């Protein structure tokens, strides 16, 4: 019996499972509805559907949205926040600048803090910016506060003291008190979660981590118990936002690293395609609830050091650089007070889902519109396992959209598609053109259940030369997890002018971070570890830093020159200019400890290019450029061979997705089974 590796991605509508046979390289997939009431049930249903022998499974890799959902929905446990006396309200004060989302909105309001005022407390202590203790920690007062936490029923505590990123001794002392007086309560320390400058971001990140820690912990433990009952003894690995995986035990230490867990898997999977498609990719991931965009440049994904929740609550963790909008297959079409047709960000999700699912949904969605326009086959959805009801979809679009706007049903459905695509195109332009990239140099790669429906048209409108649809696009994030390495990210404050920093001191600081990362990884991994170094550097007086590659090994004066050169290159890449004679300063050191795993190779398909056996028939499909329905050829993707060529208009169907090829476009199938659409 062979050995199997399983990837599981829980999305807003479906739970996807990909299974790699490590001996043959074959990948099998399964797709089941997500179970929002208890994600464990959907996880197990997907694994059972995949029919994987438990005793032969070497690894289970999971992308989870549990932390993200908990924060967005504010379904959080009672969490307390302890800060230096006088600073406990920084969570509510936030930053003075308004987010872009509310810049021109006169009704915009700051999001409410995750931890309310009654659960925020000041502790008598003070450390200065050099780490020197200015005011000793008042242990008696700290004990009184912790006793009060018990009476409030607190389940988690976030501790963030001023300049604890330089001297964490007071944080650790209070954490020890909490563990002694409230042993059942979980604790997050800012000096461990986010040991970097800028107090508000550090506080916000620590508060989020503490708030999700009981939820993620409970979920992971229940999942491990359920898998054990199913006979699985292989380790459970969790995808991190940075695109690596980590053992469930280590993830529970700092669960905020799972905030963008699932989408990161898709980016890693797309990175694996880069070599075959020129190295530069614009990635679009359209699932049931969201549309995400990311860039791969020179075969490497772009990373960033944080994001925001609700346009104002920041979190700071290493993560794949994704932009996200609320446009997905389940996005609801609606008419606003001015009589304008809108699509999203509200989504029908998995429960009740689009109207055509027949599961109780009453509001028309992007999926319903595609069904009306003939782009989806009501009898072939999910390989025929799920029948779609076209009549009730038509009825609701007519009642809620067409009649109020004075349109017929087809015009209304076409309008829904055009508005949704306009939203998506705007997001793609922000991630490419507005960052100085020329889309003509990037191939569009589309996945997610709904991504292939819009890929060809979006690529054409953006100016990308072609759109690539990998095999099993609706399950691609789960497949991408199979290609991930073990990864642990650590960081630390290290401030000073780059021109005068001692290179031996800088080497020692990086060495300490590498030893810290290696020691942590050794708790669950005993293989080879490779380190990647970066540093956050800025011109003196700048407000934001640029993460810059740093050479490995002992650093010398030659290394200093290399770091400066790297910084100038990165600054030019981000901002389109650099000033080689301007003084620079260093802020933060970062180390990624990577445990390399045996990567599966993409398997070539063996079928020939004859398309006759893939022919399923013809049906009428609406295309905007034709201003009407066209007789369109329909193919079964699983029967298309390498070298197959298809002229548009055409539809290519598979179990988890549908590809639309527009008139005057042409598609071909490469050796790995990718469908490549020339969009011009």
Say yes or no to pLDDT of 41 above 90: yes
- For strand 236-239 and strand 57-63, is the pairing parallel, antiparallel, or unpaired? parallel
Say yes or no to pLDDT of 351 above 90: no
Say yes or no to pLDDT of 100 above 60: no
Cα–Cα dist 479/29, whole Å? 8
Percent of the chain's residues with pLDDT above 90: 66
Q: What is the mean pLDDT of residues 308-320?
A: 83
Question: How many other CB atoms are found less than 10 A from the CB of residue 585?
Answer: 19
353-358 long-range Cβ contacts below 8 angstroms, 24+ apart: 353/13, 354/329, 354/330, 354/393, 355/389, 355/392, 355/393, 355/396, 356/388, 356/389, 356/390, 356/392, 356/393, 357/386, 357/388, 357/389, 358/387, 358/388, 358/389, 358/392
The three-class DSSP label of residue 578 is coil
pLDDT digits (tens, 9 = 90+) for 284-310: 999 888 899 999 988 888 888 888 876
DSSP assignments along 252-278, one per residue: TTSGGGGTTHHHHHHHHHHHTTGGGGT
Residues 6+ apart with CB under 8 A from 348: 330, 331, 332, 354, 355, 361, 363, 365
Cα–Cα dist 174/190, whole Å? 12
What was the pLDDT predicted at 98? 63
pLDDT digits (tens, 9 = 90+) for 194-214: 999 999 999 999 999 999 999
Q: What is the mean pLDDT of residues 51-76?
A: 87
Cα–Cα dist 113/213, whole Å? 17
- Which of the residue ranges 1-5, 23-27, 145-149, 443-447 would you say has the lowest mean pLDDT? 1-5
pLDDT digits (tens, 9 = 90+) for 523-544: 888 889 999 999 999 999 888 8
Say yes or no to pLDDT of 604 above 50: yes
pLDDT digits (tens, 9 = 90+) for 400-447: 999 999 999 999 999 999 999 999 999 999 888 888 789 999 999 999
- For strand 57-63 and strand 4-10, is the pairing parallel, antiparallel, or unpaired? parallel
The pLDDT confidence band at residue 500, using thresholds 50, 70 and 90, is very high
**261-326+420-481 has which CATH code?**
3.30.420.40
Say yes or no to pLDDT of 348 above 90: no
DSSP assignments along 586-652, one per residue: EEEEEEEEEE---PPPPPPP---S--GGGEEEEEEEEEGGGTEEEEEEEEEGGGPPTT-EEESSEEE
Write down the domain spans for the chain.
Answer: 4-70+224-258, 73-216, 261-326+420-481, 331-419, 486-595
Cα–Cα dist 126/134, whole Å? 5
Cα–Cα dist 273/277, whole Å? 7
DSSP assignments along 131-196, one per residue: S-EEE---HHHHHHHHHHHHHTT--EEEEE-TTTTT--HHHHHHHHHHHHH-TTSEEEEHHHH--S
What was the pLDDT predicted at 62? 94
Say yes or no to pLDDT of 603 above 90: no
Cα–Cα dist 460/133, whole Å? 60
CA 14 to chain centre: 16
Selection from 571, 528, 563 nearest residue 546 by Cα: 571
What was the pLDDT predicted at 1? 47
Residues 6+ apart with CB under 8 A from 65: 10, 11, 12, 261, 262
Say yes or no to pLDDT of 336 above 80: yes
Backbone angles phi, psi at 510, to 5 degrees: -65, -40
Cα–Cα dist 475/447, whole Å? 8
CA angle 317, 323, 425 (to 5 degrees): 175
- For strand 281-286 and strand 245-247, is the pairing parallel, antiparallel, or unpaired? unpaired
Report the predicted TM-score, pTM, of the whole model to 2 decimal places: 0.87
The pLDDT confidence band at residue 311, using thresholds 50, 70 and 90, is low
What was the pLDDT predicted at 678? 95
Query: Was domain 486-595 assigned CATH 3.40.30?
Result: no
What was the pLDDT predicted at 101? 57
Question: How many other CB atoms are found less than 10 A from the CB of residue 558?
Answer: 10
Say yes or no to pLDDT of 102 above 70: no
Superfamily of domain 4-70+224-258: ATPase, nucleotide binding domain (3.30.420.40)
The three-class DSSP label of residue 556 is coil
Cα–Cα dist 359/34, whole Å? 13
What was the pLDDT predicted at 308? 83
- Which of the residue ranges 24-38, 101-115, 635-649 would you say has the lowest mean pLDDT? 101-115
The pLDDT confidence band at residue 608, using thresholds 50, 70 and 90, is low
Which contiguous run of DSSP H or E holds residue 573?
helix 557-575
Mean pLDDT over the full length of the chain: 91
Asked if 4-70+224-258 and 261-326+420-481 have one fold, the answer is yes
Cα–Cα dist 98/184, whole Å? 38
DSSP assignments along 209-222, one per residue: HHHHHHHHHHHHHH
Which H, E and C letters describe 505-528, residue by residue?
HHHHHHHHHHHHHHHHHCCCCCCC
The three-class DSSP label of residue 565 is helix
Q: What is the mean pLDDT of residues 563-575?
A: 89
Say yes or no to pLDDT of 5 above 50: yes
- Which of the residue ranges 179-183, 455-459, 605-609 would you say has the lowest mean pLDDT? 605-609
Q: Pinpoint the alpha helices (H) of 31-74.
A: 39-50, 66-73
216: left (phi over 0), alpha (psi -120 to 50) or beta: alpha
Residue pair 386/357 in contact by the 8 Å Cβ criterion: yes
Percent of the chain's residues with pLDDT above 70: 98
Residues 6+ apart with CB under 8 A from 483: 268, 269, 271, 272, 599, 600
Say yes or no to pLDDT of 255 above 90: yes
């Amino acid at each position: 019996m062979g050995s199997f590796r399983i990837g599981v991605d829980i999305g807003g509508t479906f739970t996807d499972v990909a299974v790699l046979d490590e001996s043959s390289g074959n990948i099998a997939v399964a797709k089941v509805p997500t179970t929002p009431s208890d994600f464990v049930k959907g996880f197990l249903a997907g694994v059972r559907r995949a029919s994987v022998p438990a005793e032969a499974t070497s690894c289970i890799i999971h992308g989870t949205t549990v932390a993200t959902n908990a924060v967005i929905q504010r379904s959080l446990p009672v969490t307390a926040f302890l800060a230096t006396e006088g600073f406990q309200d920084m969570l509510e004060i936030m930053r003075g600048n308004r987010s872009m989302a509310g810049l021109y909105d006169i009704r915009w309001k700051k999001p409410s803090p995750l931890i309310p005022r009654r659960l925020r407390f000041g502790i008598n202590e003070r450390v200065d910016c050099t780490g020197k203790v200015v005011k000793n920690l008042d242990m008696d007062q700290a004990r009184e506060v912790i006793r009060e936490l018990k009476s409030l029923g607190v389940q988690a505590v976030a501790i963030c003291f001023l300049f604890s990123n330089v001297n964490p001794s007071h944080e650790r002392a209070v954490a020890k008190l909490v563990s002694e007086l409230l042993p059942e309560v979980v604790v997050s320390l800012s000096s461990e979660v986010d040991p970097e400058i800028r107090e508000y971001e550090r506080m916000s990140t620590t508060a989020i981590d503490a708030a999700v820690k009981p939820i993620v912990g409970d979920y992971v433990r229940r999942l491990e118990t359920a898998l054990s009952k199913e006979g699985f003894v292989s380790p459970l690995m969790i995808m991190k936002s940075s695109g690596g995986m980590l053992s469930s035990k280590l993830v529970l230490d700092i669960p905020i690293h799972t905030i963008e867990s699932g989408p990161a898997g898709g980016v890693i999977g797309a990175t694996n395609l880069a070599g075959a498609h020129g190295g530069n990719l614009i990635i679009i991931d359209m699932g049931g609830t969201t549309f995400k965009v990311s860039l791969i440049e020179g075969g490497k994904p772009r990373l960033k050091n944080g994001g925001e929740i609700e346009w104002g609550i920041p979190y700071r963790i290493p993560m794949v650089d994704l932009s996200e909008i609320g446009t997905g297959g389940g996005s609801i079409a609606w008419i606003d007070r001015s009589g304008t047709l809108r699509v999203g960000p509200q989504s029908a999700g998995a429960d009740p889902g689009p109207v055509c699912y027949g599961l109780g949904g009453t509001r028309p969605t992007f999926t319903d519109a595609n069904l009306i326009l003939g782009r989806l086959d009501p009898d072939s959805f999910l390989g025929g396992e799920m029948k779609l009801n076209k009549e009730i979809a038509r009825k609701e679009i007519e009642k809620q959209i067409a009649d109020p706007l004075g349109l017929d049903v087809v015009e209304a459905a076409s309008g829904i598609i055009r508005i949704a695509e306009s939203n998506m195109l705007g997001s793609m332009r922000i991630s490419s053109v507005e960052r100085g990239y020329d889309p003509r140099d990037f191939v569009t790669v589309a996945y997610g259940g709904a991504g292939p429906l819009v890929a060809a048209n979006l690529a054409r409108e953006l100016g990308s030369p072609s759109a690539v649809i990998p095999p099993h696009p609706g399950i691609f994030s789960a497949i991408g997890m199979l290609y991930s390495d073990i990864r642990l990210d650590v960081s630390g404050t290290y401030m000073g002018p780059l021109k005068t920093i001692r290179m031996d001191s800088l080497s020692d600081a990086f060495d300490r971070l590498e030893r810290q990362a290696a020691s942590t990884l050794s708790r669950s991994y005993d293989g080879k570890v490779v380190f990647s170094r970066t540093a956050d550097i800025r011109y003196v007086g700048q407000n934001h830093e640029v993460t810059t590659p740093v050479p490995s090994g002992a650093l010398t004066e030659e290394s200093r020159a290399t770091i400066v050169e790297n910084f100038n290159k990165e600054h030019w890449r981000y901002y389109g200019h650099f000033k080689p004679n301007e003084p620079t300063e260093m802020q933060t050191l970062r180390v990624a400890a990577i445990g390399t795993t045996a990567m599966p190779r993409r398997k070539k398909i063996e079928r020939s290019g004859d398309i006759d056996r893939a022919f399923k028939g013809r049906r009428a499909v609406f295309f905007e450029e034709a201003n009407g329905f066209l007789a369109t050829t329909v193919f079964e993707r699983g029967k298309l061979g390498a070298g197959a060529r298809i002229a548009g208009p055409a539809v290519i169907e598979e179990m988890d997705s549908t590809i639309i090829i527009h008139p005057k476009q042409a598609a071909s199938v490469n050796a790995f089974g990718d469908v490549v659409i020339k969009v011009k």
